[in-house]
Amino acid sequence: MITDNILALLNKTPESILVSIAGKIKLRRLDKNWTQKLLASKAGIPLATYRRFELKGEISLRGLSMVAIALGLESDFESLFSTKSYQSMDELLESNKTIERKRGTTND
């Protein structure tokens, strides 16, 4: 698929992004000197689920949010897809000129 090829060229794949997130979470866990078992318990998820997350980056969105809350990172998680910030007033004014879409275009 074309999209997959473009992502690979940019060296960003869904898998690499998830593994990167898992690595950052692992570092936070180690900073707190917590075991995988302790974090899984605090997050309310099975230990096997947490271990798979650290190893492969695989976890449900709900599980990831529970891990973020357990580590006190919920504000980081909530800002994941935050609104766009503007570099200048002109950029802000220009963005207001675009029509706000209610749905995507059809790809027929």
Helix (H) or strand (E) holding 101: none
Instruction: Assess whether pLDDT exceeds 90 at residue 82.
Output: no
20-54 b/e (C-beta count within 10 Å ≥ 16 → b): ebbeebbebbeeeebeeeebbebbebeeebbeebb
CATH number of 16's domain: 1.10.260.40
Percent of the chain with pLDDT over 70: 77
Mean pLDDT value of segment 82-101? 68
Domain that holds residue 58: 2-75
Which of 5-9, 33-37, 93-97, 98-102 tops mean pLDDT?
33-37
pLDDT in tens, 50-76: 999 999 999 999 999 999 999 999 888
Q: Is 80 within the bounds of a domain?
A: no
Structural domains of the chain, count: 1
- Tell whether pTM > 0.75: no
Q: Is 8 within the bounds of a domain?
A: yes
Q: Is residue 58 within 8 Å of residue 18, measured between CB atoms?
A: yes
